[in-house]
Amino acid sequence: MTDWLHRPLGRAVFAARWAMVPIYLGLFVALVMLAVKFLQQLVALGVTLPGLSGADTVLGVLRLVDLALLANMVLIVVLAGWDSVIGPLTPERSDFADLGFGAIKVKLLGSIVAIAAIQVLEGFVHIGDVAIAPLLWQLVLLLGFGVAGLLLALMDRLGGGH
Per-residue pLDDT of 60-95, as tens digits, reads: 998 999 899 899 889 888 887 777 666 655 556 555
Does this model's pTM top 0.85? My answer is no
- ∠ CA 61-42-51 to the nearest 5 degrees? 70
Rounded CA-CA distance 86/14 in Å is 10
Q: How far apart are CA 102 and CA 110, in angstroms?
A: 12
pLDDT given at position 99: 60
pLDDT in tens, 24-38: 889 999 999 999 999
Does the pLDDT of residue 44 top 60, yes or no?
yes
**Mean pLDDT of the residues in the chain:** 81
Other CB atoms closer than 10 Å to residue 62's CB: what's the count? Answer: 16
The residue type of 41 is Q
Handedness of CA 97, 103, 105, 111 (dihedral sign): negative
SS3 160: coil
